[in-house]
Amino acid sequence: MRKYSSDVGEEDVGKEVTLYGWVHEVRDLGGLVFIILRDREGFIQITLPKKKVDPEIFKRAKKVHRESVIKVVGVVKKEPKAPTGYEVIPTSLEVLNEADAPLPLDVAEKVPAELDTRLDHRYLDLRKPRIQAIFRIRHQMLQSVRRFLSEEGFIEVNTPKIVSTATEGGTELFPISYFEKEAFLNQSPQLYKQVLMAAGLEKVFEIGPIFRAEEHNTVRHLNEAISIDIEASFMDHEGVMDVLERLIARIYEDVYENCQKYLSWLDVKIEVPETPFERITYDEALEIAKEGGEDIPWGEDLTTAALKIIGESIGGHYFIVDWPTETKPFYAMPYEDKPEISKTFDLMHGWLELSSGAQRVHQYDLLVKRISECGLNPESFGFYLEAFRYGMPPHAGWGLGAERLLMSMLGLKNIREAIMFPRDRQRLVP
């Protein structure tokens, strides 16, 4: 019977099991050989006493290279000194694929490697239990998103990633050749999810890639990332903030309940954040930053130094709300009585921005005006603007960075750790 390492237990003692995995370690003590087999669920000890196993199996075990793929059939025995408390005495050991030696990367992590080296050989890096744990938790995180938003009445959609014009203006776009035309990789599903509000779907969400041609080279920026987006009709910015903070709490709850094994591999402990999250205005954020020695003129974005001061002051998850209209995209709704301020918010965890959202402009004339005020040509937004002429409901939404959320939850030092094959200014392979 095929088993994972973590499944072998008391009920298997004296019985034959089948295991598949990689040779994590070989210890040759002359008349006794130990193989530590690693699969996706952990480790198990394969014990080969020379006098008790087939000579051919014993010979094969002594010669096998680390990271070779093997199939083991054997009898389970109790062994308190083994990693799991059990060992397997093999009746069959088949090398399915022999690994070359030496390895370009030490999977056992006895020899540390720089992040660039690890990413160059990512298939080996991902074999490490500590690294696999990140992506098992990521899997749970995305499952939680889908379940929570579905329970809240949201419909999952998929929008185009090849577009003819910028989502939010600016030049941070990757141009591509699209037959006889120039096209771009989409920065955001923003325009399409708003159009779907005019379609009457009312609540939609998408989990998909976004592309930003920003020339950043920091621990928190990627040029291809996964964005979790929602848009909801008949909600204002406060309504979608409520959805967002409850989603974050749900993700933490699910990871805490279902991923203790993987959290232990990472040596990470998490606490479910209490809701509602604290809210501070942009003006209050400027004051906190100023008190900490970072003086930022009103209307400018918050610097990294300012965010670190604010994050240390507040801690945990919090919202910065009511940003200057000029700092936000054209589709952000200004306050009616104070149009220089917009109904916008950023969700922060410490100094790291996780999400940005707003109530949207849903009136056609105001939207055209805002596009022009942002230095953009309304004619470039034809299909988008048309949707606002024939019955667009009030709506709001946000985008949440999957990698940033995972990075902040697990305390990862570099966002590249939170994505399997990162894309940044220098990295296009693997």
Q: How far apart are CA 362 and CA 372, in angstroms?
A: 16
Are 211 and 224 a contacting pair, CB within 8 Å?
A: yes
| 150: DSSP letter | H
Beta bridge partners of 46: 35, 88
- Report the catalytic residues: 212, 214, 220-221, 353, 356, 404
Q: Where are the alpha helices (DSSP H) in 14-128?
A: 55-63, 115-120, 122-125
In angstroms, the CA 304 to CA 23 distance is 44
The sign of the torsion formed by the CA atoms of 382, 385, 389, 391 equals positive
What tokens were used for 309? 């001061």
Length of the chain: 430
> Can you tell me the distance from the alpha carbon of 180 to that of 76, in angstroms, rounded to the nearest whole number?
65
Among 267, 294, 290, 415, CA closest to 352: 415
Alpha helices in 302-360 (DSSP H): 304-314
DSSP 281-323: EHHHHHHHHHHTT----TTSPPPHHHHHHHHHHH-SEEEEE--
Query: Would you list the DSSP string of 394-405?
Result: PEEEEEEEHHHH
CB 331 within 8 A of CB 306: no
Structure tokens at 90: 């093999």
d(CA 248, CA 145): 9
Check: CB of residue 332 under 8 Å from CB of residue 240.
no
**Amino acid code (one letter) for 266:** L
Q: How far is CA 187 from CA 15, 95, 102, 333, 348, in A?
A: 56, 47, 42, 20, 21
